[in-house]
Amino acid sequence: MKFISSVIEKSAALIPIHLQIKGAHLFQKTKKSLLKSSPVPDFIESPIPEVSTLAIADIDVSNPFLFRQNRWQSYFKRLRDECPVHYQKNSPFGPFWSITRYQDIMFVDKHHDLFSAEPIISIGGQPDGLAIETFIAMDPPKHDAQRLAVQGVVAPKNLKEMEGLIRSRAADVLDSLPIDEPFDWVEKVSIELTSRMLATLFDFPYEQRHKLAYWSDVAASSPEATGGTGSMNEAFTVAAEVAKQFSQLWRAKEAKKAAGEEMGFDLISMLLANESTQDMINRPMEFLGNIVLLLVGGNDTTRNSMTGGVHALNQFPDEFIKLKNDPSLIPNMVSEIIRWQTPLAYMRRVAKQDVELNGQTIKKGDKVVMWYVSGNRDEREIDQADQFIIDRKNARKHLSFGFGVHRCMGNRLAEMQLRILWEEIIKRFDNIEVVDDPKYVQSNFVKGYTNMMVKITAKSA
Amino acid sequence: MGSITFIEHYGTQHAVDIEEGKSLMQIAMDNGVPGVDADCGGACACGTCHVIVDTNWINITGSATEEENQMLDLSPEKADSSRLSCQISTSEAMDGMVVRLPEFQM
């Protein structure tokens, strides 16, 4: 939808962004009813068969129920062992290559000269009319300039300033939890804490923080991009809301700046302080793109690692004992949680030329999916890869943050949030027992939880 | 046997022995020098073993390659003599060399 985007770009200075998005929405609705263009795949869940019953060519790891049904491990293991660079030609998202071994993933991730991150990093495309521009899906040199402008917001220096606030907010959440009775950890801890964090990063009205998590969920759940449960109407409604509220926030900060007041360390203040981004509001798709990138980047990832850690320690109870005996293992455990969970399963690229990789020829223009979730369990690179070991050596070597120029910008923030959460948990609780099977997100991209019932035991005084 | 001195951002010094042929990053890791993370294990792919070579020694180590600069360019602390220490192979010619660590690896 280059056309709509560029019309929005040009009229940006005159018409508020959210009204333009509403206009684009109407256009898409009309277009859809008239032309039946770009059909959105309709995903209906059915049981996924044992991988051993399939021919290798029929394996389709883009199935958005693979994580939900907890079948992913055997599927990716078979690809790693038998066909590490695998071509699926008939997926609902079109044909794509799967890269499943650690070293091959590293190769693709490092070679942005061979593999482009444009136009987007999900297996499927973006919803028609909502093609936002974000540097996670840009190649150098444009990527570098855009990233440099915003990365200060999550730079370690800035984080140090925020650590106290993050800790008190985490403590607050943990102190309010019910003891000895079942509750949903996802809702009460993971979502709550990440929403608070996002509100802090954006300096967003604190009492409205839950909108941030909701918006992020909608942005990441488009069926055409990731096989999620979202709808076109919801996506447009949310995009318009995001644009409206963040434009207001931007204008308020801009006025502050003009009045010569002291600016904060939040994202928008930083964008306003940087010469190359201070007029970003006039480039709505870029503006929206950066907001959405930080929303999604700071939401699903940390949220699902917060739940994943509890889940892992329940599956490997000896590690829980190890942790209680030696809380100084927390920083290392945080890396191990991020590996074990791999909250974002992959990043997608497009080959810029023909490339030979592990015996296969990837053709120019082919989609290439780096399955971090598989590389993180590659026995060739990681000893006892399916085991959760909190004092694992080289735990930091996981793929969850990606490598190369697109390496996760918020990695230090994520690690700090998780470290603080576990430091505060260990002070308070003797046990967190998962009392029912967790429920998982429908998506081929977000490897996460919708619900996990737990019961906590307070530390005996 | 010669040695190389790492200086942390706030001044703490660590003199470590040279092990000819090992990377500077590996020597830092083996000796527990704080402030070198080396997340990618030496693949020039993460930028977390950033060091700033004392300008008197940059002729010996050489300057950052294009590949290193792709990662180093993302750091606000990048200096002219910045290198990724995983890409520096140490030798006895570096006896007495001083490298500084940035405030943060990112």
Nearest residue to A156 (alpha-carbon basis) of B16, B13, B92, B50: B50
Distance CA B26, CA B105 (A): 16
Interchain CB distance below 8 Å, B43 and A106: yes
Which residue in A226, A406, A207, A190 sits closest to A298, CA to CA?
A: A190
A157/B41 Cβ within 8 A: no
pLDDT of residue A33: 56
Q: Which domains does chain B have, with CATH numbers?
A: 3-100 (3.10.20.30)
In whole angstroms, what is the distance from residue A294 CA to residue A291 CA?
5
pLDDT confidence of residue A1: 38
Find the residue in A nearest to B75 (Cα).
Answer: A148
Judge: A110–B43 Cβ closer than 8 Å, yes or no.
yes
Which two three-digit tokens encode residue A325?
A: 């005996």
- Is the minimum CB–CB distance between A144 and chain B shorter than 8 Å? yes
CA–CA distance, A248 with A228 (Å, rounded to integer): 30
CA distance B75 to chain A (A): 8
Q: What are phi and psi of A228, to 5 degrees?
A: -80, -175
According to DSSP H, which parts of A208-361 are helical? 210-220, 223-226, 232-258, 267-273, 284-315, 317-325, 330-341
DSSP 8-state code for residue A260: T
CATH architecture of the domain covering A2-458: Orthogonal Bundle (1.10)
CB contact under 8 A, B70 and A140: yes
CB contact under 8 A, A152 and B76: yes
Size of interface A-B (CB pairs under 8 A): 52
Distance from CA of B103 to the nearest CA of A (A): 8
Helix axes A156-175, A192-202, angle to 10 degrees: 140
User: B102 CB near a chain A CB, below 8 Å?
Assistant: no
Contacts of A51 (CB under 8 A, 6+ apart): A59, A71, A74, A75, A78
Instruction: Give the whole-angstrom CA distance, residue A50 versus residue A332.
Output: 34
pLDDT band at B4 (very low <50, low <70, confident <90, very high): very high
Q: Are the beta carbons of B45 and A110 separated by less than 8 Å?
A: yes
* CB atoms closer than 10 angstroms to residue A23: 17
Q: Which residues of B touch A411 (CB under 8 A)?
A: 106
Q: Which two tokens stand for residue A427?
A: 């002070």
Distance of residue B85 Cα from the nearest chain A Cα, in angstroms: 16
Which chain A residue's Cα is nearest to B41? Answer: A397
Chain B residue closest in CA terms to A106: B45
Check: CB of residue A164 under 8 Å from CB of residue A416.
no
- Give bridge partners of residue A451 from the DSSP assignment: A439
Contact A403 B40 (CB under 8 A): yes
Beta bridge partners of A346: A371
Q: Hey, is the C-beta of A110 within 8 angstroms of any chain B C-beta?
A: yes
Count how many Cα atoms sit within 13 Å of the Cα of residue A24 in the half-sphere of its side chain: 32
Q: Helix, strand or coil for residue A268?
A: helix
This complex has an ipTM of 0.91
Displacement of CA B52 from its chain's centroid (Å): 7
Among all residues of chain B, which has the CA nearest to that of A159?
A: B104
Decide: helix, strand or coil at residue A432.
strand
Domain parsing of chain A, residue ranges:
2-458
pLDDT in tens, B21-31: 999 999 999 99
Mean pLDDT of chain B: 95
Q: In angstroms, what CA-CA distances link A303 with A137, A330, B15?
A: 22, 17, 41
Question: To the nearest 10°, the Cα dihedral for A55, A57, A61, A63?
Answer: -80
Q: Give the C-alpha separation, A367 to A26, whole Å.
A: 31
Residues sharing a CB contact under 8 Å with residue A55, sequence separation 6 or more, in sequence order: none
Question: What are the CA-CA distances from residue A157 to residues A55, A391, A436 (Å)?
Answer: 52, 27, 40
- Taking the CA of residue A165 and the nearest CA in chain B, the distance in Å comes to 20
Q: Residue A6: what pLDDT?
A: 45
Q: Is the pLDDT of residue B62 over 70?
A: yes
pLDDT of the residue at A161: 81
Do the chains contact at B38 and A396, CB–CB below 8 Å? yes
Is A130 in contact with A239 (CB distance < 8 Å)? yes
How does DSSP classify residue B97?
-
Hey, is the C-beta of B98 within 8 angstroms of any chain A C-beta? no
With contacts defined as CB-CB under 8 Å, which chain A residues touch B45? Answer: 106, 109-110, 403-404, 407
Q: Does A148 touch chain B (CB under 8 A)?
A: yes
Q: Are A420 and A193 in contact (CB under 8 A)?
A: no
Which CA distances in Å does A149 have to A77, A277, A379, A419, B74? 40, 7, 38, 27, 10
Q: What percent of chain B has pLDDT over 90?
A: 91
**How far B59 CA lies from chain A's nearest CA (Å)?**
27
Tell which residue, B26, B12, B5, has the closest CA to residue B94.
Answer: B5
Residue type, A331: P
Could you tell me if B2 and B95 are in contact, meaning their C-beta atoms sit under 8 angstroms apart? yes
How far is C-alpha A100 from the geometric centre of its chain's CA atoms? 19
All residue ranges of chain A with pLDDT < 50 are 1-7, 10-11, 36
| H/E run at residue A82 | helix A72-82
Q: What's the predicted TM-score (pTM) here?
A: 0.91
For residues A414 and A298, give the distance between their C-alpha atoms in angstroms, rounded to a whole number: 8
Selected residues 13-72 of chain B with any CB under 8 Å from a CB in chain A = 37-41, 43-47, 70-71
